[in-house]
Amino acid sequence: MSDLTMQAEPASVPTTTPPRLRLWPGVAIFCILAVIRGWASLGAATPSQFFFGLIVAPAACVLALILWWLFASRLHWSDRLLIPGGLIAIAAVTMVVCGNNFPAMGMIFYGIPIVAGAWVGWLVLTMKLSWPARRAGLLLLFVALGAFCSTLRLEGMDGSFNAKFSWRWTPTAEDEHQAYLKQTATQSVTATAQKPAETPAAASAELPVELTAEPGDWLDFRGPQRDGRLAGVTIGTNWEQAPPREVWRHRIGPGWSSVTIVGDRLYTQEQRGDQEFVVCYDTAKGTELWSHHDTTRFFEVVAGAGPRSTPTFHNGNIYALGANGNLNCLNAVTGKVIWTRDLVADTAATIPQWGFSSSPLVVEGLVSVFAGAANSKSVVAYHADTGKLAWTAGEGSLSYCSTQLSKVCGVDQLLISTDAGLSAFEPVTGKVLWQHAWPTEQIARVVQPAVISDTDILIGTGMGVGTRRVHVEHEGETWNTKEVWTVRTFKPYYNDFVVSEDHAYGFDGNIFICVDLADGKVAWKARGYGNGEVLLLGDQKLLLVLTETGEAVLVEAQPKKHQEIAKLKVIEGKTWNHPVIAHGKLFARNGEEIACFELPMKTSAETAQIGR
């Protein structure tokens, strides 16, 4: 045999080729999430569909991606375990590093869709790369996303759940307010040191002994009827030639309270660090006159920190409810505590998801607020002078509405909208006069009911539920209610609406609309105001809309068409607080700043123009 034939064949070297990744299930999962997410952002038909799109769907998407990767990707088990394990570890570290800057709810809303898109998108774009490179790149991408999220701070969301982000090292609006307080305190000390000393008699002479309500004051949430209607006032509307004049503005602590005006004093609530404040400001200069604080802080990721309800003035006192349930009665002149109660301790209520938001109502010597507790403790009333518990009543558990004194069928009664429907109470005893059942599947009602006649009331509900007109009948001791109509084309969530003659004007989500009270049909729609608030100047049939971005807009209250008359930027930042007009001035605030504008007087030419 030749040497050639004698030589042994070289042994073959075994090679292992990684399995080909089955990618299409991951692409399908992400596409389904994208469709659901986009649909939910545009406005879902029902509350369950809305929360499914923004919360359940992202969580289900991540679970589906992990199951696909573990059981249908066709990869080696080492890779099947490495990628999900690495993702979970990176996510855990990111959550710890982010802390309150990017809370868990924000991660579900925004982090999961981004991670899902990055996971699938990277694999689609790198199909020509080797598997080791794709694997390493995917892990590095997860690390990069975690590091990027760690540099952000979620500043909250607007009414359409669009997030606002900032770099975590930049000062927050609260930080800037704290700096403002320190600066004003320093200036005050300097001015006091330079000012000649006053005698005790001269200093005390500047303070009134007691405050009393005067014509032109704004003493309550949304006015005396809690209907957002201002009577007896007319303003100039040609803001191009004679715009409102800014009197003062300054930073303010976070909170969604509106303001109460008594003479030359303004009352509101705000958060300052770990303390919740009731503050009295001078309406002429905006300077702080006194403040009261409780050591408590409420925070949630959508709206942020701070109290939600508006202080009420009655018989020389201020009544204010904090977001965690502290109800204070304060002297309106000095801020001295007269009495204080704790809703949670008194009723065993649970602090609501968005905080206690009921603005106190004082009627017949009793102050009432919504508590939402079980065992007929939906509404609670205290003696206004002593704080002693007077009565509890009602079964609704979810509401951000306030009790409202209204005359229905000629009888004064307290109305409240809750997840159970609409309830009416006898003001002094708390006896339930009648109840109209309209349960909302664990969705809280937020806007005030609107009494549109002696017998008919509108109940508005957001999150896809709609608005109902209810007719009330009364004979002897018997009360009956019946549904007149229900529509889902008008779904006011937390933006109160107003009624002018035979039409309602308010927000269907972030669309401002006019609705015919006869049948609930929409007369016109207008965009551009976000999720704002509206005030009706009844004598002029004029709407003042305070937009979500802080613009004051004048709109005619007429059903023929949407007619915008004037517009002015008044404050910066997300604005959900109700505007107030008192003594010829417009007061606007949000969670960042507060401002006062002197309104122009109406001319005869403007009177003739409006309504044409």
What dihedral angle (degrees, nearest 10) is formed by the CA atoms of 92, 98, 104, 110? -100
**Tens digit of pLDDT for each residue in 530-567?**
999 999 999 999 999 999 999 999 999 999 999 999 99
**Tens digit of pLDDT for each residue in 489-535?**
999 999 999 999 999 999 998 899 999 999 999 999 999 999 999 99
DSSP letters spanning 236-287: ---TTTSPPEEEEEEE--S-----EEETTEEEEEEEETTEEEEEEEETTT--
Q: How sure is the predictor about 112, in pLDDT bands with cuts at 50, 70 and 90?
A: confident
Q: How sure is the predictor about 184, in pLDDT bands with cuts at 50, 70 and 90?
A: confident
Q: Is the confidence at residue 396, as pLDDT, over 60?
A: yes
Two structure tokens written together for 595 = 């401002």
CB 503 within 8 A of CB 536: no
Write out the H or E segment, with its range, that includes residue 388.
none
Residue boundaries of the structural domains of the chain: 24-167, 209-609
Q: How many CA atoms lie within 13 A of 404 on its CB side?
A: 28
Query: Could you write out the three-class secondary structure of 284-301?
Result: CCCCEEEEEEECCCCEEC
pTM: 0.89
**Tens digit of pLDDT for each residue in 6-57?**
444 454 444 456 678 999 999 999 999 888 877 776 654 455 566 777 788 8
Two structure tokens written together for 399 = 């509401």
Domain at 209-609, CATH homologous superfamily = Quinoprotein alcohol dehydrogenase-like superfamily (2.140.10.10)
